[in-house]
């Protein structure tokens, strides 16, 4: 992947010969707290709901008649428009996306509010979604990252069309990038095309008003959610930890891999699932964001096994804290991380997503190599230290289960 | 070592080279596909799933899938998982109505050990009793030894908390009269808790035969060397003298004999609906493609009829999710409409969806062209990653039992016109031919 900055426009290009579908993404940095939770999500949706030239229906038809797949997403740190299309449809795809970035009318504001409300209520029918929602909003508290379904639901009726228009204007004042991966003719023509036609994608360096998350937690907290007809109890146990901009990141990544994210051979999988039959799904996760990260463990288990599962989480961390993993296990974890990186960067849209994200977060286009070097330099003792650190940090536990089982915890 | 009795080069859409399709003397099918990639995908597809089960052993196909990871003569339980994942591999398996498949995605330099261990697992699974776990009463006290038997029961429990799965289970059960597709692939807690090790072994020996398995390798590799590795490592045991598993006697059901409406209740805030129809076999290529196209026109994307007419342009919208889909099976496809909606509007929803089915008597050229392009692009999409290519080949070999159909797809697609789509819609999707399954909030009428 190469980075060009022409007239202030960041263009990232990777030529992939003999691939029939091209991927183009437009990233916009988010560096202000939303006035109300949900504004950015609503903006991302409304970008597909009509422009001065096309109604929402006409826009959908224009994209779908040519199989130009477009998705718009509002994430914690950025808003992204991603397109995937056959190479020959490049010009049409770019014309359409330019129109919706510049000329969206947001006329479907009321209708979209109705739709998003319904979808959230429906999503929250899913116990895992309800659990995750509760966990995320509780761990991030008042930080902008706590913008979950239920928080959005609380704020939706306060949002006005003017708020969306204001958020839309912010897109043009922020740091941006265009990422192109596919079988195009050459970099020069691509740069000329975007410089001429997408001058509004010029980047601006602005102060990031969103602060890094401070972990002020002083004691463990358990949140219980009642769902009396649930067949399984679901548990998330997690901590606020350092993110990718910290030297601890590679160490957490390796702890995560060994503990519960390498697949069928992770310690949680082998010891809680294979040996004790406690779960079908059990895993750990290290989710990194610009201003903080979460390390967590998850299990779906029979409600009677809640206590046993929590003890299992603790025991696996204690084992790692007391005895560093063997060199063989460390080497395997490092290879596993490398293999997963290769697996998840196979097609053009995956490459655009990963490299575009690294660039937007200020990590650089060689971040994957640098990260792998840090992984290689990490010792078994480092991993053990991270396990100790987690054991000493106050944790948040969220559990959804029938009331009678929650009462026993 | 089984020798090659036939080799064919088969053209495949969007791949740089034709597939190499080998048939070995023992009946084992082997397919190689070239794709430039840092990863290699190795998989074996067994033509068995719930189609070969009866009411006594329902769920055994899926249980066997779990147990294939539990050790062979050469490698004890966990060694395969650990070895593959410590080399950067992603491994897993899946069971469906017509097939069960096992796969490894791994950086290409590790192809030898991956192929060797994959073959070992396929031909020499041991099913150790200590890994299966003791039989127990699922309605009684929790057993002391909770091993893989209990893991599967947890998977069943997890499914019971999934609203869409509840709706699908009831619909699927109501669509068939006698066919084994009627049953859930995962089985029941009672059967999994009690099925014997002997029955599990018998099932494996009956269906994991070379004639029933296709091994697929996708990536960049030396074909001669890979073929040699396959021949040397897939040494199947002779199980011809065993007492084979009994399967149900059944006929294909191409339409629902008694379409019904099933209503279930749960702690939910919205309504869930599935409408389903039975159709001809996926092997009927022209009809299957026609149903793919109808599904795109009716309910795929924001420009589809369902979304644009009932959500985008509705003055009084009450849907949160609405789409159609088409599942292909050897013994007859399923065409489904799925809706998540304001539960108070249940009756209106059913009527509106029936009207949409009636309206399939008129399909226009613009809709047809859009759907055709989508079908072509789907092929392009499936050629992007080694795992997607392997999955598509596995489908053609296991469900359609004919890899050459893949390349006939695009030509057959071009033959289809609006009139044909209208005829297929009338043949399979008339409103009186569909069963309905609803999941509503408790207390709703």
Domain range annotation of chain A? 2-201, 221-406
Burial zone of A18 (CB within 10 Å; 0-12 exposed, 13-18 middle, 19+ buried): exposed
At A82-105, the pLDDT tens digits run 999 999 999 999 999 999 999 999
In the numeric block, which tokens belong to residue A138? Answer: 């509780």
Residue A28: CB atoms within 10 A of its CB come to 25
Q: Phi, psi at residue B224, to the nearest 5°?
A: -65, -45
Q: Which residue has the tokens 């030529």?
A: A15
Domain ranges of chain B: 4-233, 261-441
Q: Find the CB nearest A342 among B88, B148, B267.
A: B88
Q: 3-class DSSP state for residue A344? A: coil
Judge contact between A179 and A10, C-beta under 8 A.
Answer: no
Q: Calculate how close chain A gets to B365, using CA atoms only, in Å.
A: 12
Closest CA to A290 of A145, A179, A137: A145
**ipTM reported for the complex, 2 dp:** 0.94
Q: Nearest by CB to A339, which of B107, B152, B161?
A: B107
| Beta bridge pairs of residue B276 | B336, B435
Is residue A375 pLDDT above 90, yes or no?
A: yes
What's the maximum distance between 2 C-alpha atoms anywhere in chain B?
A: 68
Cα–Cα dist B384/B57, whole Å: 38
CB-nearest partner of A67 from B86, B320, B373 = B373
pLDDT of residue B146: 84
Alpha helices in B126-184 (DSSP H): 129-132, 148-160, 163-175
Work out the minimum CA distance from B90 to partner chain A, whole angstroms: 7
CB contact under 8 A, B88 and A122: no
The answer to whether the CB of B135 falls within 8 A of the CB of B194 is yes
- From start to end of B4-142, where are the E strands? 4-10, 19-24, 29-34, 39-46, 90-95, 100-107
Integer angstrom CA distances of residue B85 from A258, A276, B88, B104 = 11, 21, 5, 9
Nearest residue to B167 via CA among B440, B353, B355: B440
Q: What pLDDT score was predicted for residue A218?
A: 85
CATH superfamily for A2-201 is: Metalloenzyme, LuxS/M16 peptidase-like (3.30.830.10)
Question: Is A115 within 8 Å of B39 when comparing Cβ atoms?
Answer: no
Q: How many CA atoms lie within 13 A of A154 on its CB side?
A: 8
Record the pTM: 0.96
Using the beta-carbon criterion (under 8 Å), do B85 and A262 form an inter-chain contact?
yes
| pLDDT, position A370 | 97
CB neighbours of residue B55 within 10 Å? 11
Give the distance from residue A206's alpha carbon to the nearest chain B alpha carbon, in angstroms. 36
In chain B, which residues have their Cβ closer than 8 Å to the Cβ of A302? 142, 154, 157
Question: Which of A223, A284, A130 is CA-nearest to residue B161?
Answer: A130
Phi and psi at residue A78, to the nearest 5°: -160, 160
Query: Taking CA atoms, what residue in A is nearest to B315?
Result: A111
Query: Are A65 and B366 an interchain contact pair (Cβ–Cβ within 8 Å)?
Result: yes
Q: Where are the alpha helices (DSSP H) in A23-148?
A: 39-46, 56-65, 90-103, 109-123, 127-140
Q: Tell me whether the CATH fold assigned to A2-201 matches the one assigned to A221-406.
A: yes
Question: How far off is chain B from A1, nearest CA to CA, in Å?
Answer: 17
What gap in Å lies between CA A395 and CA B81, rounded to an integer? 31
CB contacts, 8 Å: B154 with chain A: 232, 277-280, 300-302
Nearest residue to A329 via CA among A339, A341, A320: A320
Which of chain A's residues have a Cβ under 8 Å away from the Cβ of B374? 64, 67
Q: What is the pLDDT, as a whole number, of residue A304?
A: 95
The chain B residue lying nearest A233, using CA atoms, is: B158
A349 and A82 Cβ atoms separated by less than 8 Å: yes
For residues A378-392, b (16+ Cβ closer than 10 Å) or e, as one string?
bebebbbbbbebbee
d(CA A118, CA B272): 13
pLDDT tens-digit profile of A250-302?
999 999 999 999 999 999 999 999 999 999 999 999 999 999 999 999 999 99
* A chain contacts of residue B145, beta-carbon cutoff 8 Å: 277
| CATH of segment(s) A221-406 | 3.30.830.10
Find tokens 């089984």 and name the residue.
Answer: B2
Q: What is the pLDDT of residues A325-359, one digit of tens each?
A: 999 999 999 999 999 999 999 999 999 999 999 99
Q: What is the CATH number of domain B4-233?
A: 3.30.830.10
Class of domain B261-441: alpha beta
Rounded mean pLDDT, A233-250: 97
Q: Which residues of chain B have pLDDT under 50?
A: none
Residue A379 — very low, low, confident or very high, per pLDDT cuts 50/70/90?
Answer: very high
Q: In what order do the strands lie in the sheet with A396-401?
A: A221-226, A396-401, A233-241, A292-301, A279-289
Closest among B233, B236, B215 to B40, alpha carbons compared = B215
Q: Please answer yes or no on whether A21 and B301 come within 8 Å at the CB atom.
A: no
Which residues, listed in sequence order, are joined to residue A3 by a DSSP beta bridge?
A: A12
The confidence score (pLDDT) of residue B445 equals: 63
Residues of chain B in contact with residue A402, where contact means CB-CB under 8 angstroms, are none
Query: For residues A346 and B36, what is the distance between their CA atoms, to the nearest angstrom?
Result: 10
């Amino acid at each position: 992947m190469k980075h060009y900055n022409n007239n202030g426009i960041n263009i990232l290009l990777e030529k992939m010969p003999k691939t029939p579908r091209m991927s183009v993404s437009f990233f916009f940095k988010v560096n202000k707290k939303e006035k109300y939770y949900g504004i950015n999500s609503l903006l991302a949706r409304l970008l597909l709901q009509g422009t001065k030239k096309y109604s929402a229906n006409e826009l959908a038809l224009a994209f779908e008649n040519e199989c130009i797949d477009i998705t718009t997403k509002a994430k914690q740190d950025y808003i992204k428009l991603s397109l995937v299309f056959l190479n020959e449809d490049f010009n049409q795809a770019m014309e359409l996306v330019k129109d919706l970035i510049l000329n969206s009318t947001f006329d479907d504001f009321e209708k979209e509010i109705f739709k998003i409300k319904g979808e959230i209520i429906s999503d929250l029918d899913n116990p895992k979604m309800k659990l995750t929602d509760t966990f995320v909003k509780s761990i991030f508290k008042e930080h902008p990252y706590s913008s979950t379904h239920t928080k959005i639901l609380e704020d939706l009726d306060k949002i006005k069309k003017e708020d969306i228009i204001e958020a839309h204007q912010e897109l043009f004042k922020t740091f941006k990038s265009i990422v192109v991966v596919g079988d195009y003719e050459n970099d020069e023509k691509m740069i000329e095309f975007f410089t001429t036609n997408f001058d509004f994608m010029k980047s601006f360096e602005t102060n990031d008003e969103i602060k890094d998350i401070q972990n002020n937690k002083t004691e463990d907290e358990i949140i219980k959610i009642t769902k009396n007809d649930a067949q399984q109890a679901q548990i998330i146990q997690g901590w606020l930890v350092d993110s990718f901009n910290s030297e601890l990141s590679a160490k957490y990544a390796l702890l995560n891999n060994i503990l519960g994210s390498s697949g069928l051979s992770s310690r949680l999988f082998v010891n809680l699932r294979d040996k004790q039959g406690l779960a079908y799904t059990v895993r750990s996760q290290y989710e990194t964001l610009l201003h903080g990260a979460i390390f967590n463990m998850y299990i779906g288990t029979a409600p009677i096994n809640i206590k046993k599962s929590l003890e299992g989480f603790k025991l696996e961390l204690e084992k790692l804290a007391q005895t560093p993993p063997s060199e063989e296990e460390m080497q395997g974890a490092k290879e596993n991380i490398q293999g997963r990186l290769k697996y998840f960067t196979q097609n053009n849209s995956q490459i655009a997503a990963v490299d575009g994200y690294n660039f937007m977060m200020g990590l650089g286009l060689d971040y994957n190599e640098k990260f792998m070097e840090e992984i290689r330099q990490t010792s078994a003792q480092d991993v053990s230290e991270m396990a100790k650190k987690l054991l000493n940090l106050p944790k948040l536990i969220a559990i959804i289960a029938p009331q009678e089982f929650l009462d026993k915890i | 070592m089984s020798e090659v009795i036939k080799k064919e080069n088969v053209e495949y859409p969007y791949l740089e080279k034709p597939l190499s399709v080998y048939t070995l003397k023992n009946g084992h099918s082997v397919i190689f596909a070239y794709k430039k990639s840092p990863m290699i995908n190795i998989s074996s597809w067994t033509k068995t799933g719930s189609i070969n089960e009866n009411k006594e052993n329902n769920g055994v196909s899926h249980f066997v899938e779990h147990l294939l990871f539990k050790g062979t003569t050469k490698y004890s339980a966990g060694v395969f998982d650990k070895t593959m994942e410590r080399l950067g591999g992603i491994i897993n398996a899946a069971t469906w109505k017509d097939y069960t498949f096992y796969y490894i995605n791994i950086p290409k330099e590790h192809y030898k050990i991956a192929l060797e261990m994959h073959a070992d697992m396929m031909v020499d699974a041991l099913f150790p009793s200590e890994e299966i776990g003791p039989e127990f009463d699922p309605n009684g006290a929790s057993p002391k030894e909770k091993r893989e038997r209990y893991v599967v029961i947890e998977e069943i429990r997890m499914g019971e908390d999934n609203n869409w799965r509840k709706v699908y289970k009831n619909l699927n059960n109501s669509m068939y009269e006698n066919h084994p597709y009627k049953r859930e692939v995962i089985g029941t807690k009672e059967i999994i808790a009690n099925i014997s090790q002997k029955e599990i072994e018998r099932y494996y020996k009956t269906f994991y035969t070379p004639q029933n398995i296709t091994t697929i390798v996708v990536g960049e590799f030396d074909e001669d060397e890979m073929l040699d590795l396959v021949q040397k490592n897939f040494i199947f045991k002779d199980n011809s003298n065993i007492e084979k598993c009994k399967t149900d006697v059944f006929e294909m059901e191409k339409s629902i004999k008694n379409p019904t409406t099933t209503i279930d209740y749960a702690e939910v805030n919205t309504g869930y609906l599935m409408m389903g129809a039975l159709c001809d076999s996926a092997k009927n290529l022209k009809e299957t493609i026609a149903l793919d196209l109808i599904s795109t026109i009716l309910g795929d994307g924001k420009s589809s009829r369902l979304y644009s007419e009932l959500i985008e342009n509705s003055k009084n919208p009450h849907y949160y999710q609405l789409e159609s889909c088409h599942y292909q099976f050897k013994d007859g496809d399923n065409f489904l409409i799925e809706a998540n909606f304001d539960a108070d509007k249940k009756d209106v929803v059913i009527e509106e969806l029936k009207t949409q089915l009636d309206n399939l008597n008129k399909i226009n050229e613009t809709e047809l062209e859009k759907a055709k392009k989508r079908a072509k692009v789907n092929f392009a999409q499936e050629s992007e990653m080694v795992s997607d290519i392997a999955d598509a080949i596995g489908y053609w070999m296991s469900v359609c039992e004919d890899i050459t159909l893949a390349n006939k797809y695009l030509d057959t697609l071009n033959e289809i016109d609006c009139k044909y789509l209208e005829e297929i819609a009338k043949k399979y999707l008339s409103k009186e031919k569909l069963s309905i399954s609803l999941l509503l909030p408790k207390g709703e009428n």
